[in-house]
Amino acid sequence: MKSVLIISFSVIHSDPRVMRQVRLLESLYKVTVVGFGPAPEADIEFIEIKKPSADLLRKCIWASKLILGAFNSYYWSLSQVIEAKRLLGGRAFSLVLANDISALPLGLKLAGTSPVMLDAHEYSPKEFEDRVLWNVMFGRYSHNLCERYLSRIASMTTVCQGIADAYCREYGVACEVIHNAPLNQSLQPSVVSPERIRLIHHGAAIRSRHLGVMIEMMRYLDSRFTLDFMLVENDPLYLAELKEVAKEDARIRFVNPVPMQEICQRLNDYDIGVFLLPPVNFNYEHALPNKFFEFIQARLAIAIGPSPEMAALTRRYECGVVADSFDPQDLAVMLQRLDTQSIADFKQASHLAAGDLNYERGGQFLLSEVEKLI
């Protein structure tokens, strides 16, 4: 049986995009996955590496290398790279699938003469361009990795057209799009109550996403509307700050997150999925995240700001509202105009869109590329 190595410096079992790769390939190939634990429940060989940690001296050395532009030395001194190379060195694979540019140099080293695919979850050179220190250190570093290694890959995919176009424009690589969509869910739109319109936002509590704008939005909505946040505690301090800001409004709740495979079923109880994401960096400007497609698969109406990738699909399938700006009051105005029937119509439109926007379709390109390269 042909073998595939999947590399991702992420917590594999909770990384939706990587887990979709695993599910797609595990029954067809001998799959080895290297990343952070715990091991996912899958028919694979899992090689766990430790999350990177270092003392102050090591961090100072790494920072010096980045500032001085010693990018090659920095990369190969990273603990997760050293450990993965030690555990996998000398083994042969028919294909290596590297997730994000951070895994690509290692993937090429381990592949030898075998082909390497890159799946870029973000546009790495501008991932956190809104942070000055990140630009000085990691922005230049990511750009250097792209310049040195992208020309050596056999195939490349990413999450949306705007990011694909940027990689093509800046580095001359062809890049196909595989959306961050889950498998098609066997769900029906839930009934809308005229007395209670249930809004939901789920995902990670990340400060740069400015989730507080959705709390502010609630000030401009009448008593029909409630908002639940279902957030993973990436930043406990930031999550505590959000709860403090929201505590004056009894319509806003923070509910416990559920396992990844249960998200769509849990969201199905709601009416409208909300995501107002100020475009503070390139990746946020072109965001087309898991949660958008989970809203669709949960058969929810959509309420978003004018993020171009999300807005294009929302308008194409006529499954929700798009505000004119990222001002929370503008999105509130759009929501305030909705009645029970219009929300029900949007939910039905999402039900129809779910037949297109799913991984059964998106995964076919990945599978065909793997088959072709192997």
pLDDT for the residue 58 = 83
| Contacts with 172 (C-beta within 8 Å, 6 or more apart), sequence order | 151
**Out of 3.40.50.2000, 3.40.50.150, 3.30.110.30, 2.40.50.140, which CATH number does the structure's domain 197-353 have?**
3.40.50.2000
pLDDT for the residue 103 = 98
Where along the chain do its domains lie? 3-181+359-373, 197-353
pLDDT for the residue 59 = 84
Instruction: Report the chain (374 residues): mean pLDDT per 10 consecutive residues.
Output: 97 95 96 96 96 82 91 96 95 98 98 97 93 89 97 97 97 96 95 97 95 98 97 93 96 96 96 97 95 98 98 98 97 97 98 95 92 96
Question: What pTM did the predictor assign?
Answer: 0.92
Is 110 in contact with 92 (CB distance < 8 Å)?
no
Distances (CA, A) of 276 to 122, 212, 216, 317: 19, 10, 11, 19
Same fold yes or no, 3-181+359-373 and 197-353: yes
| Contacts with 325 (C-beta within 8 Å, 6 or more apart), sequence order | 305, 306
pLDDT for the residue 320 = 98
CATH topology of domain 3-181+359-373: Rossmann fold (3.40.50)
